[in-house]
Amino acid sequence: MSTTGTAGPTGSALARRPAPVGRGGPLGSVRDSLVVARRNLIRMLRIPEVVVFGLVQPIMFVVLFSYVFGGSIAVGGSTDPGTYREYLMAGIFAQTVTFATAGAGAGIADDMHKGLIDRFRSLPMARGAVLTGRTLADLVQTALTLVVLAIVAVIVGWRIHEGLLRALAGFALLLLLGYAFSWIGALIGLSVRTPEAATSGGLIWLFPLTFISNAFVPADNMPTVLRTIAEWNPFSATVQAARELFGNLPAGYPVPSAWPMQHPVWASLLWSVLIIVVFRTLAVRKYRSATA
């Protein structure tokens, strides 16, 4: 006597099965993204040492650059340490939000490595919601880091001179740049096999980007080629915009003739939006192919 049964789908069959399609249009996509962001924020709260260790490096940079280099770097013809501290802080803020890119890439690579992305893909949700939710959660963490860093900056002597609203606009530009760069981190995280590789890949290009800029020293002292790169660097545009909005450009500081330095707020906005559009498109496309 023989029995006949209906076999369940094999693992390979499940892998080939098309993922459910999310419903609800743009509003559904926003809802799915917020759900994923909430999940990531809860996980961050359960691992507070990640947030704490993320604060250590920028605080160290503030203290070291303020007190070790503060009296030896001339800004606007002045070597006053207080002048340099105010000049420095916009660069430290910008470096902090962009270095969060490595963490974003490592987090996505870790989710890929553990199969969590595949589990999300089996749900009827918008295809880009996983990445959007992750980048939004990283943005919230970065904003909290900036708040703590601003408090430390005030302690070491940093001040704003253009009013609260303009200062908030400066922080908004910094967070927009950080959000834009988190999409670069997302693409890197989807393109490598391990979180360690994502961390290395997320930092290796950030160091030249941040140091070939006006973040720590005026670009007019650089060789011609490096000065041109620094003046058109999206990182430099945001730093310059933040300095203007904070009122941290010292008297006599020479503003370069390059368009991004003459119109840094517009340049910062344009660079950030362009980076988001390009790298979000590439990251979502990579996500679809990586989990297909």
> Distance between CA 63 and CA 61 in Å, rounded?
6
Positive or negative, the CA dihedral 217, 221, 225, 229 is positive
Q: Which is more confident, 63 or 265? A: 265
Tens of pLDDT, residue by residue over 27-48, are: 877 888 888 888 878 877 777 7
Residue 60 lies in a domain: yes
Tens of pLDDT, residue by residue over 151-196, are: 988 988 889 998 999 999 999 999 999 999 999 998 998 888 788 8
For 204, the domain range is 22-290
Residue 36 lies in a domain: yes
Residue 169 lies in a domain: yes
Q: Residue 282's CB: how many other CB atoms inside 10 A? A: 16
Amino acid at 184: I
Structure tokens at 124: 């009827």
How many independent structural domains does the chain possess? 1
Which phi and psi (to 5°) does residue 11 adopt? -60, -40
Q: Does residue 267 surpass a pLDDT of 80?
A: yes
Residue 11 lies in a domain: no
What is the average pLDDT across 6-17?
42
Instruction: Return the SS3 of 20.
Output: coil
Q: Does residue 90 surpass a pLDDT of 50?
A: yes
Residue 267 lies in a domain: yes
Residue 16 lies in a domain: no
Of 255, 204, 18, 194, nearest to 122 (Cα)? 18
3-state SS, 131-151, equals: HHHHHHHHHHHHHHHHHHHHH
Residue 73 lies in a domain: yes
Residue 164 lies in a domain: yes
Give residue 17's pLDDT.
Answer: 44
